[in-house]
Amino acid sequence: MGKKKKKQTPLMRQYFEIKEKHPGTILLFRVGDFYETFADDAVLISKELGITLTKRNNGGDQTPLAGFPYHALDSYLPKLVKRGFRVAICEQTEDPETAKKAGKKIVNREVTEITTPGVTMSEKLLDHKRNNYIVSIFWAGGTVGVAFSDISTGEFGLSQVGKTELDSLIQSLQPSEVLIQKKLKNSVPEILKSNNITFIEDWVYEGDYGYKILTEHFKTHSLKGFGVEDLEIAHHAAGSLLHYMQETQKSSLGHLKRLYAYENSEYMSLDGSTKRNLELTSSMQEGGTDGTLVSILDATSTAMGGRLLRKWIMRPLKKAETIENRLEAVDELVKDHTLREELRDELDQVGDLERLISRISVGRTNARDLKQLQLSLAQITAIKRIIGQSGSVLIKSINKRLKLLIDVQERINGALVEDPPASIRDGGIFDEGFNEDLDELREIARNGKKYIAEIKNKLAKDAGIPSLKIGYNKVFGYYIEVTNTHKDKVPEHFIRKQTLVNSERYITPELKEVEEKVLSAEDKSKTLEGELFEELRLYVAEFAEDVQQIATAIAELDCIQSFAEVAFRNNYVKPEINEEDVVDVKKGRHPVVEKTLEAGEPFIPNDIYLDNSEFQILMITGPNMAGKSIILRQTGLLVLMAQIGCFVPAEKATIGLVDKIFTRVGASDNLAAGESTFLVEMNEAANILNNATPKSLILLDEVGRGTSTFDGLSIAWSLSEYLHNKPEVAAKTLFATHYHELNELEERYERIKNFNVQVKEHDGKVIFLRKLVRGGADHSYGIQVANMAGLPDVVINRAKEILSNLESHTLDVSHDGNGAMAQSAKKKEAAKKVTKEVEKQAELPQMTLFGSQIDPNVETLLNKLEAADPDRMTPIEAMLMLSELKRLVK
C-alpha cells in the first residue's frame, strides 16, 4: 500500500500550493492583518528576525508558525533581503466579506511581488546614492556574456568580455545579486563566490529564448536599433536577466526603455585588486565609505548625481576629448562662484527622478511620488536659466537635453492636492474641481456626516441624555451608545444591538438610512479616486523615457558641479591631459590623507615625474611609516582623478593618458581559496606582467616580502628587469621596497632611477620628513619604528645589539643565564656574495619570470635557491651553497 497522504486544512493546502510554485523564497502569506510563515520558513524567520515561533493545527499535525503585523512589513522585509534571502509577498486578492457571501471557505491569494537583493523598488532597501545592480552571466568558451540592470532606475546594459576581464567588470558594478546557470551550482567560478548567487534554470539561457524575450519586451523586430545585435553571447545573459525580473516583479517593466552596450574598451582598465587598494568607493579596513576617494569627491546635490559619480570613479575615461570636455565644464563652474552656488541650490530641490519614474511605471507608487516628480520637473526651468549662457560644450549639451515637460507638470499640479496622503486607499488625494463626479460624492459624504451629527444632537436632546454618542464599526455600521446610567431614558423606537459592561448600543431606522447614503458615497468616492489615480499614473508613465533622459542630464550636471565645488574647497588645479607618455606632478597631495590629518598637521606634498624614455621605473626606498605607500597611492589617484575629468590636488599636473592602473599593495591571505599571502602576491604580480602595456601605470608596494629574504630579493630583482627590458610591458612604474640591494639596478639599467623618502635620526629616534628625494636609502630604521610602536625596552636594546653585530659581520647571540649557546658567523658576508651572484645572473640572457622556457641548468639553480633558507644557514652552509651555485653557472 502507498503512504497515506496527510490531511491538510484548506488554508494550509493553499499555502503549500503557492509555496511550491516559488521555490527558494521565503513566502510571506497574508492572513487578515498579519503576514504568516509556516514550516521551515517559520523556523528561519523566527531565528533571523527574533520573532516568536509557535504552532498551528494542520489537519491534526502541529505546523511551525511565525508571523508579524502587515504594517511591520517595511521593518522586517529589508532585514531579510539584506541578509541575502528572496522574499515572495502573497496577498489576499479578494475581499474576505465578498468571499464569505459567495460561500467560499477561503479567499483567493497570489504572489504579487518577489523581492530579492538585486530586484527591489523599496526605498528601505536602496541606498539613494548607490546603484543596486543585478548581473546575469553566460559562459561560451573563452567569451563571457554579461547583462546588468538596476531595476530601480531603469538602466539595462550588456557586454561581451574575455574571461580575464570579467573580474574587472564585476568589481565595477558591485552587484547585489548574480544570476548563473543551475548546472554551475557545484562549480561556481572563483571570482563570483563572494557574491550573492541565484541559480536559474538552464533552459532560460538556451536557444533563442533570450533574443525573443528581449525583442518582445522592447516591441522591436531586432536589436539593431540598440547597437547590440551582434552581441549574441550577451543576448543569453540579457534574456535570462529580463526573464528573472519579470518573474519577480509580476508587473510591466515599461520603464526599461533601452538596452545599451557597455564598451569596456572606452574606459581605463582597473582590476579588482587596484579598486580595493586605491579605496575608490569602499574602505579596505571597514568596508564603508570613510577614507575613500568617493567620500572626498562627492559633493553632489541629487541622488542621480551621487550614483553617476560612483560610475565615473570606477570607469575612468581614455579618450582625451571627452576628458577635456568635462574639465572645461568644471573649470567654468570653479571660476564662477555665484553660478555654482545658485546651481547647487536649485539641484537640492530635485528629487530622485530615475527612481520616481520607475516606481510610477511599475505601479508601486503613490500620490506623493507624482507630486515629487512634478515639483522636481518644475526646477528644470530655473536650472536651464542658470546654465543658459555657458560656453562649455558639455554644459550646452546638458542644457539641450533638459526638457521642461510642461504638460506633465500641469496635469499633475491640476489634479493632486498640495500635500497628498501616503496611501491611495485613504482618499483625499485629488483637488476640489478636478472631477465633477468626485466632487458630488464628496459632498454627499460630507453632508451625511453633518446629518449624523444633527441626529446625534436631536436624539440627545429628545431623550434627555447629554452623554449620548454615535459611533461606527464594521459589524454594525453607525450605532447609538448610551451608558448604563441613562439606559432607563432610552426611547422605545431604539433597537438594541449590543450590551457592553458599562453601556448599551442601539440603532434606529433613520440612522441606518443616512448610513447607507454616507457609506456608499465614501466607498464610491475612494473607488473613483483609485481609478482616477491609475489613469493619471498611466499618463505620466508614458513620459518615462523623457524623464530618464532628464535624470541623466541632471546627474551629469550634478557631477560636474560636485567636482567644481570640491576643487574650490580643497585648492585643486586643472590637470593638462595629453597623449604623451609622461606623468609630471608638481607638489602633489593625497586627496584623502590630507583631509584626515590632525588639525595643524601639514601634508607634505611631493613631485612625481615618470616617462617611458628615462624615468620609467622609480625605485623608492625608505623605512616603514615614511610615506612610501602614500606616494604610490596618491600618484594612482591623481592620474585616475584627471581621467574622470576632475581637478587634482597639486600645484601643477601633466597627465599622459594611461590605459590601465595596476597595484600590488600590502599583504593579504585568501585562506578560503587555499592561497597564502605569498601566493596572492605572486598572482597579482603575474596579472600585472601578463596585462601591462607601455601606456599603463604600475604601483608596486613591496614584492617578495612574503617569502625568505633571498627568494624575495631575487623575485623583485628579476621582476624589475622584466619591466625594464620587455618593450611590450615597459610601463611607468613606482616600486616601493625595503630591499636596498635593488638600488644597484640604477647603475645597470638606464630607465631605473633611485628615490627615497627622507628621514632624520635624532637621539635614537626617527623623524619622518615625508619628502621624496633623488637617491637610494641605505638604512631601514626598523628598530626605531618598533620603539615607536611600544615594544619593551629590553627587546629594543637587544635588537640594537644584534643589529650592531650583524653590521660588523659577526653574530653573537650568547645570552646571560642558562649558559646559552655562542655562535659567530659571517652571514652578511655570505649574503653579499650571493647578491653579487644574483647580479652576475643579470648579465646572462634574460629569462621571463612566468611561464617561459628556461635552461635546465638555470632551472636547477632556481630550484636550489628556492629550497635554501639563508636565514637558517650556518656560514659554512652558505659558502657551500655559493660554491654549488657557481658550479651550476659555469
Distance CA 691, CA 168 (A): 13
Residue 554 lies in a domain: yes
Q: Of 266, 289, 317, which residue constitutes the final position of a domain?
A: 266
CB 866 within 8 A of CB 711: yes
| pLDDT tens digits for range 16-51 | 999 999 988 999 999 988 999 999 999 999 999 999
> Residue 763 sits in a domain of what CATH number?
3.40.50.300
Residues 758 and 835 in one domain: no
Closest CA to 360 of 459, 436, 255: 255
Q: What is the pLDDT of residue 427?
A: 86
- Look at the chain and report how many structural domains it folds into: 6
Residue 798 lies in a domain: no
| Same domain as 521, residue 621 | no
In this prediction, residue 876 has a pLDDT band, given cuts at 50, 70 and 90, of low
| R_g of the chain, CA atoms, integer Å | 36
Q: pLDDT at position 878, please?
A: 66
Point out which residues pair with 269 in neighbouring strands: 660
219: CATH: 3.30.420.110
Strand, helix or coil for residue 540: helix
- Do 659 and 726 lie in a common domain? yes
Assess whether 91 and 239 both reside in one domain. Answer: no
Q: For residues 407 and 670, which has the higher predicted lDDT (pLDDT)?
A: 407
717 and 850 assigned to the same domain: no
788 assigned to a ligand binding site:
no
CB atoms within 10 A of CB 856: 7
pLDDT of residue 331: 97
Band the pLDDT of 831: cuts 50, 70, 90. very low
Let me know whether 315 and 386 are in one domain. yes
Above 90 in pLDDT, residue 828? no
Is there a binding annotation on residue 786? no
Is 625 labeled as ligand-binding? yes
Length in residues, the chain: 890
Query: Does residue 207 have a known ligand-binding role?
Result: no
Per the model's pLDDT, the better-predicted residue between 347 and 627 turns out to be 347
**621, 737 contact by CB (below 8 A):** yes
The CA-atom distances, in angstroms, between 59 and each of 13, 30, 100 are 10, 20, 22
Q: Contact 390/399 with Cβ under 8 angstroms? A: yes
The angle that helices 709-725 and 827-842 make with each other, rounded to 10 degrees, is 20
Contact assessment for residue 592 and residue 292, using Cβ atoms and an 8 Å cutoff: yes
> How sure is the predictor about 848, in pLDDT bands with cuts at 50, 70 and 90?
very low
CATH number at residue 33: 3.40.1170.10
On whether residue 847 sits in a domain, the answer given is: yes
Task: Indicate whether 333 pLDDT > 60.
Answer: yes
Q: Are residues 78 and 190 in the same domain?
A: no
Say if residue 429's pLDDT is above 80.
Answer: yes
Give yes or no: residues 585 and 564 share one domain: no
Domain that holds residue 699: 576-790
Domain boundary among 247, 266, 285: 266
254 appears as a binding residue in the annotation: no
Q: Residue 847 annotated as binding? A: no
Residues 293-325 have pLDDT tens digits of: 999 999 999 999 999 999 999 999 999 999 999
pLDDT band at 703 (very low <50, low <70, confident <90, very high): confident
Name the amino acid, one letter, at 125: L
Decide if 183 contacts 386 (C-beta within 8 A). no
User: What is the average per-residue pLDDT within 119-131?
Assistant: 89
Same domain flag for 248 and 308: no
Residue 591 inside a domain? The answer is yes
Answer yes or no: is 2 within a domain: no
Q: Is it the case that residue 863 has pLDDT exceeding 60?
A: yes
Angle of CA points 561, 566, 608, to nearest 5°: 125
Q: Please give the residue that has the higher pLDDT: either 651 or 836.
A: 651
Which range, of 174-178, 465-469, 594-598, 665-669, averages the lowest pLDDT? 665-669
Last residue of a domain, one of 217, 245, 266: 266
Instruction: Consult the annotation and say whether 57 binds a ligand.
Output: no
**pLDDT band at residue 821, thresholds of 50, 70 and 90?**
very low
Query: Which of 308, 170, 268 lies closest to 641, judged by CA?
Result: 268
> According to the annotation, is 790 in a ligand binding site?
no
* Judgement on whether residues 172 and 310 belong to the same structural domain of the protein: no
Same domain for 643 and 785?
yes
The three grid cell numbers given for residue 860, joined into one nine-digit string: 636547477
Are 587 and 557 part of one and the same domain?
A: no
CATH number at 391 reads: 1.10.1420.10
Which amino acid is present at 679?
L
Angle between helices 875-889 and 856-867 (to 10 degrees): 170
Residue 124 lies in a domain: no
pLDDT digits (tens, 9 = 90+) for 598-636: 777 788 899 999 999 999 999 998 877 778 889 999 999
pTM: 0.81
Cβ–Cβ < 8 Å for 121, 358: yes
Residue 361 domain flag:
yes
Q: How much is the pLDDT for 827?
A: 42
**3 state SS for 655-691:** EECCCEEEEEECCCCEHHHCECHHHHHHHHHHHHHHH
Dihedral through CA 366, CA 371, CA 377, CA 381, nearest 10? Answer: 180
Calpha distance 701→353 (Å, rounded): 43
Query: Grid coordinates standing for 95?
Result: 475581499
Q: How confident is the model at residue 397 (pLDDT cuts 50, 70, 90)?
A: very high
Displacement of CA 655 from its chain's centroid (Å) = 29
Domain assignment present for residue 284? The answer is no
Residue 360 three-state SS: helix
**E strand or H helix that includes residue 89:** strand 87-92
